[in-house]
Amino acid sequence: MNQREVAASESIKPSLNDDEGLAYVVDLSGYKTFLFYVFNSEGKLSNVSYSLYEKFASENSYLTAYLSLISKLKEKYGEGESDIIWNDDLYRDDKQKWGLAIAAEHLKIKHTWETEDTSIAAEISGKNFKIDVSIRYSSKSIRYNRKTNDLDNF
């Protein structure tokens, strides 16, 4: 699909519409998210991603949201692969503090699935006590190749 076709398929106007993509604010399983469509230099859709836009008072609420979304992805695509990465074990034995561990960059969790034509990755990670929850769908046949400008030659 090209950018015009994707925009026509959506029932709402994009929040962002530029040469490389479209962005929308949408509901995903009850959570407010940004929906991004990314196009390669030939104008073909190469990636689609959701990024949680919801703001929570508790770090553990982000983990709860992530696990809820993962549950739905597992229903659709099966178990997939999971990767739990501990950079610091301080909170490892206290599940009540795993949200804090993510925000503090001690813990990152990633789940992946493969279909015939798509790679799917969901991740929860943190940086500077800000937690990011995202889901990305990447085409196996249409690769993203960044558009270049004159500064790329320097």
**pLDDT digit string (tens) for 80-118?**
999 999 999 999 999 999 999 999 999 999 999 999 999
In this structure, the number of other CB atoms found within 10 A of the CB of residue 59 comes to 19
Backbone angle region of 53, left / alpha / beta, with phi > 0 → left and psi within -120 to 50 → alpha: alpha
Instruction: Return the pLDDT at 149.
Output: 55
Beta bridge partners of 21: 18, 38
Instruction: Return the pLDDT at 129.
Output: 95
Note whether 108 and 123 are within 8 A (CB). yes
Instruction: Return the pLDDT at 115.
Output: 96
In this structure, the number of other CB atoms found within 10 A of the CB of residue 39 comes to 22
* Spatial CB neighbours of 47, under 8 Å, sequence gap ≥ 6: 36, 37, 38, 136, 137, 138, 139, 144
Instruction: Return the pLDDT at 71.
Output: 97
Instruction: Return the pLDDT at 20.
Output: 77
Instruction: Return the pLDDT at 152.
Output: 52
| Torsion angles phi and psi, residue 54, rounded to 5 | -60, 140
For the chain, residues with pLDDT lower than 50 are 153
pTM of the predicted protein model: 0.89
Instruction: Return the pLDDT at 147.
Output: 55
